[in-house]
Amino acid sequence: PVSPQLADSEFAPVFRLLTIFAYGTYADYLAEAANLPPLTEAQKNKLRHLSVVTLAAKIKCIPYSVLLEQLQLKNVRQLEDLVIEAVYADVLRGSLDQRNQRLEVDYSIGRDIRREELSTITRTLQEWCQGCEVVLSGIEEQVSRANQHKEQQLALKQQIESEVANLKKTIKVTTAAAAAATSQDPEQHLTELREPAPGTNQRQASKKTSKAKGLRGSAKIWSKSN
């Protein structure tokens, strides 16, 4: 960096010209051109490029009329050539909107910072950090809610699976009990058919036997009489 002591020396005009290239614009140079060293065409174009950068920091769509006035160019053709040159030099990136007569800036290099601007920059960065903290806090809260919702859904899923398993067991037990109640052993069924029940079944059997004996006796009597 250039020492501020040069501002009070015989090199004061050069020092002022350096500060214009560091912080100022082509319009600033023209305002003090009588007290400053002359510039070559290449130097003038360099300062014009930096002037466009300064404008781009404030306005992203710069009208041709503003550029022509600030850069002291005669026509749009000179302006467009200057902008194209700046783009090739990677000083800025953007496009020329000839229909609407404006320069649309997407990117531009940064310029040097004055000491008196440091407090403003610090305040801006602090506000940006606070905004980031608010955003992070909101994201963390959303993540926490999402995790809680996930846990609730998982617990509900486990509860449903448990209830389904219990229901399957209940259905299985009920089905087995119903099948046992309605089914019979075939051998037991045949035994019941073969063995008469006590009481009426025995009486019926004795009656059948007596009838058979009576029939036999009558047959014998009938044969003797003949």
**Segment 153-197, tens digit of pLDDT:** 999 999 999 989 889 888 888 888 877 777 655 555 445 555 555
How many angstroms separate the CA atoms of 189 and 208, rounded?
24
Look at residue 210 and tell me whether its pLDDT is greater than 60: no
User: Is 98 or 211 the better-scoring residue by pLDDT?
Assistant: 98
Percent of the chain residues topping a pLDDT of 70 = 77
Can you give the pLDDT at residue 219?
A: 46
Look at residue 53 and tell me whether its pLDDT is greater than 90: yes
Retrieve residue 202's tokens.
């025995």
Look at residue 213 and tell me whether its pLDDT is greater than 60: no
Question: Averaged over 200-212, what is the pLDDT?
Answer: 51
107-146: pLDDT as tens digits: 999 888 888 888 888 999 999 999 999 999 999 989 999 9
Can you give the pLDDT at residue 175?
A: 85
Can you give the pLDDT at residue 26?
A: 95
Look at residue 23 and tell me whether its pLDDT is greater than 50: yes
pTM for the model stands at: 0.58
Question: Averaged over 64-72, what is the pLDDT?
Answer: 95
Mean pLDDT of the chain: 82
Look at residue 7 and tell me whether its pLDDT is greater than 80: no
Question: Averaged over 202-207, what is the pLDDT?
Answer: 51
Q: With helix as H, strand as E and coil as C, how does the chain read? A: CCCHHHHHCCCHHHHHHHHHHHHCCHHHHHHCHHHCCCCCHHHHHHHHHHHHHHHHCCCCEEEHHHHHHHHCCCCHHHHHHHHHHHHHCCCEEEEEECCCCEEEEEEECCCCCCHHHHHHHHHHHHHHHHHHHHHHHHHHHHHHHHHHHHHHHHHHHHHHHHHHHHHHHHHHHHHHHHHHHHCCCHHHHHHHHHCCCCCHHHHHHHHHHHHHHHHHHHHHHHHHHC
Question: Averaged over 191-214, what is the pLDDT?
Answer: 52
